[in-house]
Amino acid sequence: MIRRTKFLLAFSIVYWLVVIVGVVLFSVSFQHVPIGSYGLKANFFKPDISPLYYTPGLYDAGVGFYFILFPSTKQCLIDNRVTVINRNLQKLAVTYSLCYRYASP
């Protein structure tokens, strides 16, 4: 009976260690690309970069992969507020939206 209890205890410890390592590796494999950026998937262990680009979002990149981020060509600034003073020294709040695109050289 004691041998069986020791065996079950050892099996239980090994089982839960494997489960914990699996959950940690699964959670580490997710990477995200922030809004306003594109990403290229690169390998941490080899100098490989995927030719596909990724738009903003959450991706299952895999263990050992990460994203090289660069800004997208179209940027939008929406509903930005600026406080200005006119000629009569009165404060005004101006709200503006702006979209622009980078020009390639």
Residue-range domain boundaries for the chain:
2-72
pLDDT mean by block of 10 residues, the chain; 105 residues: 83 94 88 86 87 88 87 77 89 86 57
pTM for the whole thing? 0.54
Q: Dump the DSSP string for the chain.
A: -HHHHHHHHHHHHHHHHHHHHHHHHHHHTEEEE-TTEEEEEEESSSS-EEEEEE-SEEEE--TTEEEEEEE-SEEEEEEEEEEEE-TTS-EEEEEEEEEEEPPP-
pLDDT at residue 105, as a whole number: 45
